[in-house]
Amino acid sequence: MNGMTSAVVTLVLPRIVNVKIDDVTLSVDLEDGRTVSVPIGWYPRLAHGTSAERANFRVSGAGYGIHWPDLDEDIGAEGLLLGKKSTESPASFGQWLQQRKAGQHQDGA
């Protein structure tokens, strides 16, 4: 070890305490007082959702995530803090869009 010391850093992830979403921005208030805001365009399912679908969410994972059941979307506090955009593949998103359109067509028929 040559007499060198090492520091161990333990990161504590803050829990989500409030979520606000509109047609442009997802804002998340964290228990440590920070607010993280990102464009909803980072998450295509949110961007393609209706206002009602986006408003139907729950804080999940003991406060470390957000789940939108109508959009089958999950976003974690860690990803928001790190500035991570959706990693869903174009093929997967395309399938989701097709299923969504098919479901809307059936509802409107």
Rounded to two decimals, the pTM is 0.83
In order of start, what are the domains of the chain with their CATH numbers?
A: 16-102 (3.30.2020.40)
If we measure between CA atoms, which residue out of 51, 19, 11, 63 comes closest to residue 38?
19
What are the pLDDT digits (tens) for 4-60? 677 877 778 999 999 999 999 999 999 999 999 999 999 999 999 999 999 999 999
What are the pLDDT digits (tens) for 44-78? 999 999 999 999 999 999 999 999 999 999 999 99
CA dihedral in degrees (93, 28, 80, 85; nearest 10)? 30
Grade residue 107 by pLDDT with cuts at 50, 70 and 90: low
